[in-house]
Amino acid sequence: MSRHLISAADLSLADAMAILDTAEELAHLAERPIPKLPTLRGRTVVNLFYEDSTRTRISFEAAAKRLSADVINFSAKGSSVAKGESLKDTALTLQAMGADAVVIRHGASGAPHRLADWVRGSVINAGDGTHEHPTQALLDAFTIRRRLGRLGGLRVAIVGDIVHSRVARSNVWLLRTLGASVTVVGPPTLLPLAVGSWPCEVSYNLSAVLPDCDVVMMLRVQQERLTDAYFPSIREYSRRYGLDADRVRLLPDHAIVMHPGPMNRGVEIAAAVADSARSTVVEQVTNGVAVRMAVLYLLLGGQPAERAQPAQPQAQALEPASSGAAR
């Protein structure tokens, strides 16, 4: 595995399995009275968030703290970014402070890739524009495997605003690597032009796809990224692409319903569906912490990042699932 996690498309099957298996071990930690490991003691993880976030930022913070890292939370609002400071100068500041890992969320696709040229620590993409959100795809895969017992051979539908969704992109690539088959579903205006080159099927008809699904993943319409009229009205969108109680009956009994959040209840998913036994929405959030711990552990846990004064390696309280996967 490389030093950075920028794209789910870069993960080999062995890398992805190492992360999921390590997360499985780490998930048991949460059941202990003190859910903490000393693995990253003396390491610094910076959360660099240029876009709003609830789940992802809190999840990375909890993950780093459970591994005993020092965490610095940086949000663009209230920082010198508001005074026009560039990403490069912000990166150099973080570098000067000795960040071992930078978790970045940015509105520009490709920002984490640029950042990786400027800092010596690991860069973890927590969502860049409409490009990728690899840890979300990993926590989704982890959740599917826990609920359904496997990933290989499963049929997954990803439904909604695909064109603006970094969650959809990361999931299409990761699920393909893990042996599942994906169908993206939405109105033609919300599917990217390049979808033909993605490793998935395409459908415009949600009701026709549901009877063959093991997993249906609903996505929010990203109003903040809509620059045009992509569909006649929210009501019309919801009628054709929303998952309501009637449509859920088309799913096989074992099928699960996922959503990365934030949900627009009553638009892409009915409240009764979001709160039903099929829904994994809350589990996805819980699982996100274990998966992000696994990513931090595998990227940082083995060796100290290249620093002028490397921290003393800590006693490892947990062996990596695959010792070759740390680098």
User: What residues from 93 to 132 belong to the interface with ligand NCD (CB under 6 A)?
Assistant: 127
Report the nearest approach of ligand NCD to the CB of residue 201 (Å).
22
Please tell me the distance from the alpha carbon of residue 176 to that of residue 13, in angstroms, as a whole number.
10
CA–CA–CA angle 269, 127, 276 (5° rounding) = 25
Tell me if residue 77 is catalytic: no
Q: How many CB atoms lie within 10 A of CB 90?
A: 22
Report the nearest approach of ligand NCD to the CB of residue 125 (Å).
11
Q: Does the protein bind ligand NCD through residue 56 (CB under 6 A)?
A: yes
Q: Does the protein bind ligand NCD through residue 169 (CB under 6 A)?
A: no
- 3-state class of 241 per DSSP? helix
Query: Which tokens sit at 241?
Result: 């692409």
Q: Which is nearer to ligand NCD, 136 or 287 (CB)?
A: 136
Tell me if residue 106 is catalytic: no
CA 50 to chain centre: 16
Q: How many CB atoms lie within 10 A of CB 27?
A: 18
Tell me if residue 66 is catalytic: no
Q: Does the protein bind ligand NCD through residue 269 (CB under 6 A)?
A: no
Report the nearest approach of ligand NCD to the CB of residue 7 (Å).
14
Q: Does the protein bind ligand NCD through residue 136 (CB under 6 A)?
A: yes
| Among 171, 96, 183, CA closest to 133 | 171
Q: Which is nearer to ligand NCD, 232 or 262 (CB)?
A: 262
Residue carrying structure tokens 């920028």: 6
Tell me if residue 56 is catalytic: yes
Q: Which is nearer to ligand NCD, 4 or 57 (CB)?
A: 57
Please tell me the distance from the alpha carbon of residue 206 to that of residue 83, in angstroms, as a whole number.
46
Backbone φ/ψ region at 290: left (φ over 0), alpha (ψ -120 to 50), beta:
alpha
Query: Which tokens sit at 315?
Result: 């006693």
First to last CA, the chain: 5
Tell me if residue 93 is catalytic: no
Report the nearest approach of ligand NCD to the CB of residue 52 (Å).
8
CA–CA–CA angle 268, 269, 270 (5° rounding) = 130
Q: Does the protein bind ligand NCD through residue 57 (CB under 6 A)?
A: no
Q: Does the protein bind ligand NCD through residue 163 (CB under 6 A)?
A: no
Q: Does the protein bind ligand NCD through residue 260 (CB under 6 A)?
A: yes
Among 94, 167, 200, 243, binds ligand NCD (CB under 6 A): 167
Q: Does the protein bind ligand NCD through residue 166 (CB under 6 A)?
A: yes
Among 261, 266, 302, 304, binds ligand NCD (CB under 6 A): 261
- Chain residues that interact with ligand NCD, rule: CB under 6 A: 55-56, 127, 133, 136, 166-167, 220, 222, 260-262
